[in-house]
Amino acid sequence: MKAHFIQAHTILKEMIAEIAAKAEQAVQSAVDAVDKNNVAAATRVIANDAKIDEAEIKIEEECLKILALHQPVASDLRQVITILKVNNEIERVGDLAVNIAERVADMALYQERKIEKFDFRDMVNKAKAMLKQALDAMTYHDVAIAMEVIRSDDEVDIIHRNNYGKTRDMILRYPDEAQYYMDCLTVSRCLERIADSATNICEDVIYQENGHIVRHQHSVKSDASQ
């Protein structure tokens, strides 16, 4: 019984690592495409999302199979449930990468225009790092990293709030370029949501490791910041 579960669980862990790598790559390619106004690269991100969707379904089926056939309990149960939930979050990250990529064609139209461009580098680096750390926390069962990620979510939220203000100012100043700045705001919102997904993954990791559901608890952030 145990050996069968371990085998099924190992396969599941490999599958989730694979989909996570795909989603990370999608985010990277999407933000690179924004940076370089590379419409072809953006189109590839959009096309590749189907693979992430397909992998999500396969993982979900595998989780349901394990739950039905092995009826895991305690930490085994928590690990399968965590993978089931993280799988959802990762698929969502893939969708957010697509949303970013979808803006590229439009933003590229403004390539030659002499307007003030948004600098996403700091936000991209933070969101990407959070996602990577969240996936590491899950793989290495590391609650400390998970707490660290939950804490950093505030930083990305602040950047997004600032971007909102900046968008408003720019549109007022350059009404003709409003569409470009709206695209920028979309990219910013997607990055902020990727950071949110990383945070959600970390909350699931904490549940996986110690059985406590920490979602919607403001104390977690303050605990994490101590």
Partner 1 sequence: MAIKIHAKKLNFYYGAHQALFDNSLEIEANRITAVIGPSGCGKSTHLRIYNRIFELYRDQRVEGELLIDGKNVLAPKVDVLELRRKIGMIFQKPTPFPMSVFDNVAYPLKLHFKLSKTKIADRVEQALRGASLWDEVKDKLKASGLALSGGQQQRLCIARAIAAEPEILLMDEPTSAIDPVATLKIEELMLELKKKFTVMIVTHNMQQAARISDYTAFFFQGYIIEFGETEQIFTNPQKTKTEEYITGRFG
| Cβ nearer to partner 1, comparing 9 with 193 | 9
Q: Shortest CA distance to 55 belongs to which of 26, 88, 27?
A: 88
Tokens, residue 197:
């997904």
Residue 170 and residue 116 in contact, taking contact as beta carbons nearer than 8 Å: yes
Least separation, in Å, of the C-beta of 78 and partner 1? 7
Stretch of residues binding partner 1 (CB under 8 A), selected from 73-81, 97-105, 107-115, 185-193:
73-81
Angle at the Cα of 99 (from 157 to 42), degrees rounded to 5?
120
Any contact of residue 85 with partner 1 (CB under 8 A)? no
Quote the CA–CA distance of 91 and 107 in Å, as a whole number.
Answer: 25
Least separation, in Å, of the C-beta of 80 and partner 1? 12
Among 74, 112, 175, 176, binds partner 1 (CB under 8 A): 74
Any contact of residue 73 with partner 1 (CB under 8 A)? yes
Residue 68 and residue 5 in contact, taking contact as beta carbons nearer than 8 Å: no
Least separation, in Å, of the C-beta of 26 and partner 1? 34
| Cβ nearer to partner 1, comparing 217 with 222 | 217
Annotate 145-182 with DSSP letters as a single string: HHHHHHHHHHHHHHHHHHHHHHHHHHHHH-GGGHHHHH
Tokens 């993280």 correspond to: 86
Any contact of residue 5 with partner 1 (CB under 8 A)? yes
Any contact of residue 78 with partner 1 (CB under 8 A)? yes
Quote the CA–CA distance of 65 and 21 in Å, as a whole number.
Answer: 23
Quote the CA–CA distance of 176 and 157 in Å, as a whole number.
Answer: 28
Any contact of residue 68 with partner 1 (CB under 8 A)? no
Among 76, 136, 142, 148, binds partner 1 (CB under 8 A): 76
How many residues belong to the site for partner 1 (CB under 8 A)? Answer: 13
Binding mask 26-65 toward partner 1 (x if CB under 8 A, else -) reads: ----------------------------------------
Among 162, 211, 217, 222, binds partner 1 (CB under 8 A): 211
Among 41, 77, 171, 182, binds partner 1 (CB under 8 A): 77
- The torsion region of residue 213 among left (phi > 0), alpha (psi -120 to 50) and beta comes to beta
- Residues whose CB falls within 8 Å of the CB of residue 210, separated by 6 or more in sequence, listed in order: 143
Q: Please give the residue ranges that form the binding site for partner 1 (CB under 8 A).
A: 1-2, 5, 71-78, 210-211
